[in-house]
Chains A and B, each alone.
Chain A
Amino acid sequence: MSHHNTTHVRTISDDISDITSQNPELCYQCGKCSAGCPLRNYMDEAPNVVVRYIQLGLYEKALNSATIWLCAGCLTCSSRCPKNFDLAKFMDAVREIALRNGIKVKDKNILKFHKAFLRQIKNHGRSWEMGLVKDYKMTSFDLFSDVENSPKMLLDGKLNIFPHNVKGKDKIKSIFEKTEVKKCK
């Protein structure tokens, strides 16, 4: 990055560069990412607009967008970008920074699902669907969706009653403790 000011203050854009090993300034706003984004119709801002907000220093707008949570990480944009800018990775970094800053997430249940999923991994080392569903339903209060699918899956042996705990469970827990993103005070 070219900074003419020698007393450069660290910005969110610098944090994104660090997390992703790529500079958001790379993007020249052609819009090819947004044109091919399968989730665009459900987003509030087009993906390239979120990049533009970061480039212009309008961080609040980027961090508060629903777009960053709706991005499914399908990598269509990252594969097509003429500048080889990995937009999916950029979105990961913006979400991480939003979490660090305690930003109120617009599509709350999406984050609640991810958190419930990660709690299974942190506790057992592998995903445990029964625990995940219970955890998600308790935290999202979305109690009745998909209940009709559970009996068949139980009968087919696809929902394990008990979790499998890996031998290195403590190591997994320690990985989480060292890397989980926590809200800055």
Chain B
Amino acid sequence: MQIGYYPGCSQEGTAKEYDKSLREILKILNVDLTEIDDWSCCGATSAHVTSHKLSLALSARNLALAEKQGMKEIFAPCAACYNRLASSKTELQNHQEQKYEIETIIEEKINNIPEIYNIVNFFQKVGKEKITEKKKTDLKNLKAACYYGCLLVRPNGINTDDSEQPDSMEEIVKATGAQTVDWNFKLECCGAAHSIARTDIVVDLSKKILDDAQKHGANVMIVACPMCHSNLDMRQKNIKSKFSDYKVIPVLYLSELIGLALGLSKKELGIDTHFIEFDLPIKNNVQEEVSA
């Protein structure tokens, strides 16, 4: 299988392990990623909160590049990039006049915008049974809280998942052999881009999310967004210093969890670069155990 790849800026910086773990597991699952040549930032939060046209144009440039490079499908692992690209696609398709204006601004034509996949849709396409087939490590002692955050399934209708009670990520997580927990905060906002300017808000909101997951029996959080990851992982240090009785919980990207199931080490997956250090209750080599 081959698919266009839009890594997004975080994948080259603060979320390097998200990119690294994805590339490692896709080697095992026989998926080839073709990076969009010369892709640029989607504009993220900062563009759409200051100029609607800037935001649309920055995303449209990447969609036009992908189309020009012959891509029919592109995969954007960062939930925020996915959301910007998918929302811009809808807007360009539904408003012809706006499309013409954006084409003039970016000096590119847009005709057939590729299909855009987030990480959950992407693994649905790869096939969750492929993960189960190649599983090497027993993850049954992991109780995962799947955290969708804001941008994976909203706004309502962006994809086929439900925007109030999604369960697509749980399906992928179960394919790794891990358990999932039912909890209330899978879609609550972590404060997102306020992380630096209003850390106080992010600490409050992230604590509510992490507390609810643990109250419902989770021993690991699974995320699909570099922003969510840095707020839930890095900001646990701030939470701990504000609330001394707070118990920390590991936060993994979905790709890292799949990598563990496929027998890759924490180092190979870049998990050693997280702020929260931890040992997971997992056993290696299911095969050996069965044959023993």
A contacts, CB < 8 Å to B: 19-21, 38-39, 42, 70, 72-76, 78-80, 86, 88-89, 91-93, 95-96, 99, 107, 109-115, 117-118, 121, 125-129, 133, 136, 140, 142, 145-146, 149, 152-153, 156-160, 164, 166-168, 171-172, 174-176, 178-181
CA distance A124 to B88 in the complex (A): 22
Chain A residues near B52: list those with CB within 8 A.
19-20, 89, 92-93, 96
B289 at the interface (CB under 8 A from A): no
Task: Assess whether B54 is in contact with A176, with CB atoms less than 8 Å apart.
Answer: yes
Chain A residues near B163: list those with CB within 8 A.
79
Q: List 15 A-B contacts (CB under 8 A).
A: A74-B154, A79-B155, A107-B197, A107-B198, A110-B198, A114-B45, A118-B54, A125-B41, A145-B196, A146-B196, A152-B275, A168-B38, A168-B40, A171-B61, A181-B51
Task: Assess whether A179 is in contact with B187, with CB atoms less than 8 Å apart.
Answer: no
Task: Assess whether A178 is in contact with B48, with CB atoms less than 8 Å apart.
Answer: no
CA distance A109 to B150 in the complex (A): 23
Task: Determine the residue in chain B with the shortest Cβ distance to A95.
Answer: B49
Chain B residues near A111: list those with CB within 8 A.
50
Task: Assess whether A39 is in contact with B189, with CB atoms less than 8 Å apart.
Answer: yes
B273 at the interface (CB under 8 A from A): yes
Chain A residues near B164: list those with CB within 8 A.
79-80
Of the candidates B13, B48, B275, the one whose C-beta lies within 8 Å of that of A92 is B48
Question: What is the CB-to-nearest-CB distance from A23 to chain B, in angstroms, rounded to a whole number?
Answer: 15
Question: What is the CB-to-nearest-CB distance from B40 to chain A, in angstroms, rounded to a whole number?
Answer: 4
B95 at the interface (CB under 8 A from A): yes
Can you add 4 more A-B contacts, CB < 8 Å, to A127-B13, A159-B14, A175-B54? A21-B95, A166-B38, A168-B40, A175-B57
Q: How many residues of B contact A (CB 8 A)?
A: 56
CA distance A172 to B9 in the complex (A): 15
CA distance A175 to B57 in the complex (A): 7
Task: Assess whether A127 is in contact with B44, with CB atoms less than 8 Å apart.
Answer: yes
Question: What is the CB-to-nearest-CB distance from A103 to chain B, in angstroms, rounded to a whole number?
Answer: 13
- A78, A79, A95, A107 — most chain B CB neighbours (10 Å): A79
B contacts, CB < 8 Å to A: 9-10, 12-16, 38-41, 43-55, 57-58, 61, 95, 98, 105-107, 150-151, 154-156, 163-164, 187-189, 191-194, 196-199, 201, 205, 234, 237, 273, 275
Known: A72-B192, A73-B49, A172-B40. A112 touches B155 (CB 8 A): no
Task: Assess whether B13 is in contact with A159, with CB atoms less than 8 Å apart.
Answer: yes
Task: Assess whether A118 is in contact with B150, with CB atoms less than 8 Å apart.
Answer: no
Question: What is the CB-to-nearest-CB distance from A68 to chain B, in angstroms, rounded to a whole number?
Answer: 9
Task: Assess whether A180 is in contact with B154, with CB atoms less than 8 Å apart.
Answer: no
Known: A72-B189, A72-B194, A74-B189. A121 touches B40 (CB 8 A): yes
Chain B residues near A174: list those with CB within 8 A.
107
CA distance A181 to B46 in the complex (A): 12
CA distance A126 to B44 in the complex (A): 11
Task: Assess whether A129 is in contact with B13, with CB atoms less than 8 Å apart.
Answer: yes
Known: A76-B150, A136-B196. A118 touches B9 (CB 8 A): no
CA distance A95 to B49 in the complex (A): 7
Of the candidates B45, B107, B188, B237, the one whose C-beta lies within 8 Å of that of A38 is B188
Chain A residues near B188: list those with CB within 8 A.
38
Chain B residues near A91: list those with CB within 8 A.
49
Task: Determine the residue in chain A with the shortest Cβ distance to B199.
Answer: A145
CA distance A64 to B43 in the complex (A): 25
Chain A residues near B55: list those with CB within 8 A.
92
CA distance A161 to B264 in the complex (A): 29
- A74, A164, A178 — most chain B CB neighbours (10 Å): A74
- B10, B40, B199, B273 — most chain A CB neighbours (10 Å): B40
Counting from the closest, the 6 A-B pairs by CB-CB distance are A127-B9, A74-B189, A74-B150, A114-B46, A109-B197, A75-B154
Known: A42-B201, A158-B16, A180-B51. A149 touches B234 (CB 8 A): yes
